[in-house]
Amino acid sequence: MTNNTINLSPSDLAFVPFVSVDNMMRNVRSVGVETFMRGLAGYIEEDFLRWESFDKKPRIPAHAPEGVVELMPTSDGKTFGFKYVNGHPGNMREGLQTVTGFGVLSDLATGYPVLFTEMTILTALRTAANSALAAKYLAPEGSTTMAVIGNGAQSDFQCLAFKDMLGITEIRAYDIDHGASIRLARNLASSGLNVTICKTPEDAIEGAEIITTVTADKRYATILTDNMVGSGVHINAIGGDCPGKTELHKDILLRSDIFVEFPEQTRIEGELQQLDADHPVTELWQVYAGNAEGRTGKDQITLFDSVGFAIEDFAALRYVHDMLPQTGHFEKLDLLADPDDPRDLYGMVLRSGANGDNQAA
Amino acid sequence: MTNNTINLSPSDLAFVPFVSVDNMMRNVRSVGVETFMRGLAGYIEEDFLRWESFDKKPRIPAHAPEGVVELMPTSDGKTFGFKYVNGHPGNMREGLQTVTGFGVLSDLATGYPVLFTEMTILTALRTAANSALAAKYLAPEGSTTMAVIGNGAQSDFQCLAFKDMLGITEIRAYDIDHGASIRLARNLASSGLNVTICKTPEDAIEGAEIITTVTADKRYATILTDNMVGSGVHINAIGGDCPGKTELHKDILLRSDIFVEFPEQTRIEGELQQLDADHPVTELWQVYAGNAEGRTGKDQITLFDSVGFAIEDFAALRYVHDMLPQTGHFEKLDLLADPDDPRDLYGMVLRSGANGDNQAA
């Protein structure tokens, strides 16, 4: 902004568009949850198709006994994005979210952020969109029934994304906490999905072409054992997503064709941590690009070992950034110092008091 | 917050204290720039004294032809902090800041952020506080004169910190752009410092016990050549802080005892990149802890090869976080989703529309 008059108010250069939780919900509602996720899937696919143009790094973690905080940066050379995300399984006991997040998108030509947004809701949406996108390439054609094992915060979004993008009509829900399944069924009551609450995991996977596992315990668990999984299904494994946390018995993995986002990260964090470091896997972007095969036969078990990768968040940030001019659901955050003379940062501090406003904001 | 009634407004759990640029200036003015920097230096020294309790990583960069964006995370096992910072030398031509930044402090026990703040101004303050802290251990006793070569945005803060913490009374200022020196002198007019604007670098270092170099070009430059630097001085080298950017002739380095923050980072980013990978250096925290010697004699040239390290930002975030209850200069940002039932994120989105507010915020 060229401005030759002395102006003690922050200029437009100082402001970064900010999407609060409240505004994220407005943005989602403005197009609808399912359309929003379909839009996200489109941006994710677009970015996976230019996989090689991204700077890819494993996430950067800070560990504590209670959980982990991670930064997930990536860049395509023109735009930089990162997500801050935590994983604290015990948080629910305190009335806090297990996973919260926020993210930033920046213009690499100037280094200035162009979007700061909540990503707790956005991550839930992009995770489901990403699962459904992978399933479009991997699930049996004409799938109508999905088992959902683990009925926590992520499960609703999975159901809705698979309904919209795969044509799923029947949900078979199981959780060790029956109340969680009731909550899920209630939220989906007017979605058009038929939800059957099941008493056992075995019951849940009965007749399902797609099995989604999305439990939250931070430990090695065996949600699915080998004899439970028949041929021809697609397993959408969301819950095994950090070291020491898996959901599937190793023998299922050995019978499956395994598809992953970024092998370097999945071998550390995913179900894959149970297998040898050189166990063959297929990168999803290669499938999307037509360089590798997805589902090849009726009896094949396909497994998406999902851990969540930075490029998915980058795509989600892009999607939200691009929709804001239409929806207007954002605020302007006074985040960047913008002195009249860029060399005169101290002068800005010095003269800011000239308003005489030395009181609390 | 326990709340058994249905409440569609964000609860206190959803809010993160946010310090805007405007509020950062209010916080600084509430105690004064010099006191603020002295406070920062105290927190930095405190954190350097518990150096071994920190998880230390080199910064994580994303490069573009125009500059770099970096994330600088660190953690002491209980608290996590990171800074986002860019470096774009050409930004000034566009009326933008060369360096801007923001940062986050989080509680590792829950993963929830406890502070989100602008760090453009804060970084300028902590950089000068950090320089003055090092100089307290390294500069000749009784120093009164400082040469300041490079009179951009950082130079004001350097002068004020050295005045307050070292007792500097005379500033000898030089910049290739005479206007920059005039700007500096004008800003310091009522500071109590005597500022002499010099026509050459040689002139500026005349009689100075401390030489501060703080230029901004992103290239190998030689601000100081070997014959310019006499014995017994302390060199506070700020400007050489990324690969390919240095300010001092190699021969000066070879005559100096070199002090650094984190050798692994300084060898890549600092003046040190000009020397062999095993050139001996002293870590500043060892000097502060009394494990290594600082200045040992009158003729010694001490050199602080400053690049800026994550622990300094961590300390700065702690300092701001701790002052907010007193000053009240912050806002509350609706950054964290806080559904009544943490498992029910979709239910929160679903029911948020019950207000009927489907219009732009």
Determine whether the interchain pair B153/A343 forms a contact, defined as Cβ–Cβ distance below 8 Å: yes
Per-residue model confidence (pLDDT) at position B245: 75
Chain B contact for A35 (CB, 8 A cutoff): no
d(CA A293, CA A259): 10
* Mean pLDDT (chain B, rounded): 90
Determine whether the interchain pair B343/A106 forms a contact, defined as Cβ–Cβ distance below 8 Å: no
Query: What mean pLDDT do residues B99-109 have?
Result: 95
CB atoms closer than 10 angstroms to residue A257: 17
Per-residue model confidence (pLDDT) at position B223: 80
The yes/no answer to whether this complex scores an ipTM above 0.90 is no
Q: H or E stretch including B347?
A: helix B345-352
Per-residue model confidence (pLDDT) at position B241: 66
Per-residue model confidence (pLDDT) at position A218: 56
Determine whether the interchain pair A335/B153 forms a contact, defined as Cβ–Cβ distance below 8 Å: no
Query: Do the Cβ atoms of B69 and A106 come closer than 8 Å?
Result: yes
Phi, then psi, of A327 in degrees rounded to 5:
-80, -30
Chain A contact for B91 (CB, 8 A cutoff): yes
pLDDT band with cut points at 50, 70 and 90 for residue B302:
very high
Chain A contact for B134 (CB, 8 A cutoff): no
Of A321, A335, A337, A325, nearest to A16 (Cα)? A335
Per-residue model confidence (pLDDT) at position B3: 33
d(CA B231, CA B307): 24
Determine whether the interchain pair B342/A88 forms a contact, defined as Cβ–Cβ distance below 8 Å: no
For chain B, what is the radius of gyration of the CA atoms?
22
User: Assign residue A77 a region: left if phi > 0, alpha if psi is -120 to 50, beta otherwise?
Assistant: left
Chain B contact for A87 (CB, 8 A cutoff): yes
Chain B contact for A333 (CB, 8 A cutoff): yes
Per-residue model confidence (pLDDT) at position A217: 63
Distance from CA of B145 to the nearest CA of A (A): 21
Of A165, A134, A143, A329, nearest to A236 (Cα)? A134
Q: pLDDT over 90 for what percent of chain B?
A: 75
In order of start, what are the domains of chain A with their CATH numbers?
12-121+312-349 (3.30.1780.10), 130-308 (3.40.50.720)
* Residues of chain A found within 8 Å of residue B338, distances taken between Cβ atoms: 21, 97
Mutation target to probe the A interface, by most A beta carbons within 10 A, among B345, B351, B358 is B345
Mutation target to probe the B interface, by most B beta carbons within 10 A, among A55, A110, A359 is A110
pLDDT tens series, chain A, 361 aa: 333 333 344 567 779 999 999 999 999 999 999 999 999 999 999 999 999 999 988 789 999 999 999 999 999 999 999 999 998 988 878 888 888 999 999 999 999 999 999 999 999 999 999 999 999 999 999 999 999 999 998 999 999 999 999 999 999 999 999 999 999 999 999 999 999 999 999 999 999 999 999 986 656 677 888 888 889 999 999 976 667 778 888 999 999 999 999 999 899 889 999 999 999 999 999 999 999 999 999 999 999 999 999 999 999 999 999 999 999 999 999 999 888 887 889 999 988 876 554 443 3
Per-residue model confidence (pLDDT) at position B343: 81
The burial of A4, by beta-carbon neighbours within 10 Å (0-12 exposed, 13-18 middle, 19 or more buried), is given as exposed
Q: Is A241 a catalytic residue?
A: yes
Query: What mean pLDDT do residues B199-203 have?
Result: 95
Lowest mean pLDDT among A11-25, A220-234, B140-154, B188-202: A220-234
Query: Do the Cβ atoms of B17 and B324 come closer than 8 Å?
Result: yes
Beta-carbon contacts of residue B112 (< 8 Å; ≥ 6 apart): A86, A96, A100, B13, B16, B106, B336
Q: Is A256 strand, coil or helix?
A: strand
CB atoms closer than 10 angstroms to residue B59: 22
Per-residue model confidence (pLDDT) at position A147: 98
Per-residue model confidence (pLDDT) at position A355: 54
Query: Do the Cβ atoms of A115 and A105 come closer than 8 Å?
Result: yes
pLDDT band with cut points at 50, 70 and 90 for residue B10:
low
Determine whether the interchain pair B13/A337 forms a contact, defined as Cβ–Cβ distance below 8 Å: no
Chain B contact for A93 (CB, 8 A cutoff): no
Residue A157: closest CA among chain B residues belongs to which residue? B346
Chain B contact for A217 (CB, 8 A cutoff): no
d(CA A323, CA B62): 25
Query: What mean pLDDT do residues B295-304 have?
Result: 95
Residue A60: closest CA among chain B residues belongs to which residue? B73
* Measured distance between the N- and C-terminal CA atoms of chain B, rounded to whole angstroms: 26
Q: pLDDT over 70 for what percent of chain B?
A: 93
Determine whether the interchain pair A100/B111 forms a contact, defined as Cβ–Cβ distance below 8 Å: yes
Chain segment B215-274, per-residue pLDDT in tens: 866 566 778 888 888 899 999 999 766 677 788 889 999 999 999 999 998 998 899 999
- Three-state SS for B203-225 is HHHCCCCEEEECCCCCCEEEEEC
Residue B355 confidence (pLDDT) above 70: no
pLDDT band with cut points at 50, 70 and 90 for residue B354:
low
Residue A62: closest CA among chain B residues belongs to which residue? B75
Query: What mean pLDDT do residues B64-71 have?
Result: 93
* Residues of chain A found within 8 Å of residue B93, distances taken between Cβ atoms: none
Determine whether the interchain pair A336/B18 forms a contact, defined as Cβ–Cβ distance below 8 Å: no
d(CA A81, CA A70): 14
Strands (E), A76-119: 79-87, 101-107, 113-118
Mutation target to probe the A interface, by most A beta carbons within 10 A, among B69, B74, B82, B188 is B69
Residue A14: closest CA among chain B residues belongs to which residue? B21
